[in-house]
Amino acid sequence: MSTVPPNKDPEPANLLDRQVDRREFLKLAIFGAGSLLAACFGGAGLTYFLSPAFKQKQDAWVDLGPVGDIPQAGPVKMDYIQRQADGWTTVEGRSSAWVLREDLNVTVFNPHCTHLGCAYRWDDKREAFLCPCHSGVFDKKGNVISGPPPRPLDRYQAKIEEGRLYILPGEKAS
């Protein structure tokens, strides 16, 4: 059994018992309200501003025509027009891809050099892809022969349906 001590401590050790100074309270309230506002408004604003980072790119398969029509001698550049949503507009964007066909075996390359994105071309004499910017050179399978490119040429996903070639630009082949 505990008994009440006869002499109470004259100075309460508990800090909570201390009256919060009015000025301190006002400052705290101002700071609290400001933080709440900043969190709500800032949260919404940042979500909006940063949203492109989380946006999934929606690609559509592009029809490049009958596979049989693609020459087999070496890689060919194929241009296509793709109707696609661009923000709030729809554009008919012109793009291209390099296509290497060996019978029904088709490899489609992203037309930009893997170094810094310049457009390369196929050189028949040297049997290589040449990049005009920093002299990157790739063989016809896209492997780096010389120069600064860090990796082989990027490939697009490709599929053949009913004899027609479809590619999925923007995605690397898995």
Interface residues with another protein (CB under 8 A)? 23, 26-27, 29-30, 33-34, 36-37, 40-41, 44-45, 47-49, 51, 60, 63, 81-85, 87-90
**Separation CA 163–CA 9 (nearest Å):** 95
> Smallest Cα–Cα separation from 59: which of 172, 168, 167, 165?
168
Q: Which is nearer to another protein, 42 or 132 (CB)?
A: 42
What type of residue sits at position 80? Y
Whats the size of the chain, residue-wise?
Answer: 174
List CB contacts of 25: < 8 A, sequence separation 6 or more: none
Compute the CA torsion angle 15, 20, 26, 28 (nearest 10 deg).
Answer: 0
Q: Shortest approach of another protein to residue 167 CB, angstroms?
A: 14
Q: Shortest approach of another protein to residue 51 CB, angstroms?
A: 4
Q: Which is nearer to another protein, 8 or 54 (CB)?
A: 54
Q: Are 155 and 172 within 8 A, CB to CB?
A: yes
Q: Shortest approach of another protein to residue 47 CB, angstroms?
A: 5
In angstroms, how far is CA 142 from the centroid of its own chain?
22
Q: Which is nearer to another protein, 83 or 141 (CB)?
A: 83
Q: Shortest approach of another protein to residue 82 CB, angstroms?
A: 7
